[in-house]
Amino acid sequence: MEWELIRESEKLKADIQTAGLSLMQPFYEKYGMNFLKISVITEAEMNENLTLNVLAQNVNKAAANMSVIVTNLVKEGYLKKVTSTYDRRVTYIQITDKGREILQKSRYFIIKRYESVMSDGQEIKDLIDAAGTYLNKLLEANRKIVTSESFEL
């Protein structure tokens, strides 16, 4: 396989991530949000028994860093901390109504942004399918055992 194809693939991945982040930038600025904050609130929405360690693992960040973000989101009213009734040492991170509202607004915003350039849902589905195929190939390559031959010219 030629290096040029791999380099083009890596550049495309980086460009997609940059474009996706900039697509949401007006929303982030208006509501004082960022990608990580929305991700944390989304994790809390999906799991009502979310702990700090599970959250940190899910978003691939250190628990200490996530603690600061969660504390700020609690202060801002997007999340709440609830102590387990079974074990007082366990604290769950849960979404609030304000958190659900910001997620609803963010989803509406992104839908409107996509609708401005996509003709229909099938077009985006085709793009997702292609990206999924590419992701599966990357994951397959990651599962392959690295041998000494991988490092030789």
Instruction: Taking residues 123-146, report their average pLDDT.
Output: 86
> Is there a domain that residue 21 lies in?
yes
Q: 88-111 burial, b if ≥16 CB within 10 A, otherwise e?
A: eeeebbbbbeebeebbeebeebee
Q: Residues with Cβ < 8 Å from 103, sequence gap 6 or more?
A: 38, 41, 42, 45, 95
Number of domains forming the structure of the chain: 1
> Is there a domain that residue 62 lies in?
yes
* pLDDT score, position 83: 94
Q: What is the CATH number of the domain that holds 51?
A: 1.10.10.10
> Is there a domain that residue 151 lies in?
no
Q: Is the dihedral of CA 131, 101, 75, 29 positive or negative?
A: positive
Helix ranges, the chain (H) = 3-31, 35-46, 52-59, 63-75, 97-115, 121-143
pTM: predicted TM-score of the whole model, two decimal places: 0.78
The string of pLDDT tens digits covering residues 15-54 is: 988 888 888 999 999 999 999 999 999 999 999 999 999 9
* pLDDT score, position 1: 65
> Is there a domain that residue 147 lies in?
no
Distances (CA, A) of 72 to 57, 59, 135: 19, 17, 33
Token pair recorded at residue 66: 């996530």
Paired residues of 94 in beta bridges:
80
The string of pLDDT tens digits covering residues 52-105 is: 999 999 999 999 999 999 999 999 999 999 999 999 999 999 999 999 999 999
Domain span at residue 41 reads 3-142
> Is there a domain that residue 138 lies in?
yes
* pLDDT score, position 10: 87
How many CA atoms lie less than 13 Å away from 27 in the CB half-sphere? 21
Q: CA-to-CA distance for 120 and 114, rounded, in angstroms?
A: 9
> Is there a domain that residue 69 lies in?
yes
> Is there a domain that residue 107 lies in?
yes
The string of pLDDT tens digits covering residues 107-124 is: 999 989 888 887 777 888
